[in-house]
Structure 1
Amino acid sequence: MHFTGETTAGEVLIRDTLQTIAQFAYSSRNCRDVSAVEARILPEDYVPANPQYRLGTGKVVRETWTATLCGEKTRFLISFWPDGRGGTFFGIGYPYPDDAP
């Protein structure tokens, strides 16, 4: 799997997020091939209009991850926020919100 772009996530968080995307690909598309992901950090002031995508509390970082699933590019809204104990929670929004940059 080829990971490119900019993210605020470290190696472990990238791996955990990718594992969840791979589970989504298999369960929704019967796809076992996540061949590439390109990450992009969204502006700090972006807050999704739809409350369904407003995951997390405190300082939430949102990113666009464009994953290639069985040859088809699919965008996800990734949210990271502190868990209060030194770690990080993450959430994945799909389908990608219309108002996201």
Structure 2
Amino acid sequence: MGEVTERRSTVSMLEARLNYDLPVVVRAEDIDKDRGKWLKNKLVCRYCDVPVVAVPSYMTEAERPRRAHFRRMQNREHRLECLFNIDERIRVLQKAAGDALVQD
């Protein structure tokens, strides 16, 4: 068996908010159509106010397409109650499940 590597859990954000006086929800599927528009505006997570950036779709080295999405800015964290704070959600599930998640 190989070495265990700990990784940070992530989920692609498919929606964000433009941080205006009246917040506007924007969808990742529109990033490629209006690329310049999304990269210049102030975007935040739809569920908390952490700044996010628009990531256009792209191809990986293995030629696998990656769909457009939003991601957190570096060194910024979602609030504990945010749907995209996946590590915290996993900790809550582990605590609630107790020994049910332990494999024999």
Normalised by the size of structure 1, how large is the TM-score?
A: 0.27
More strand per residue: 1
Which structure: larger Rg? 2
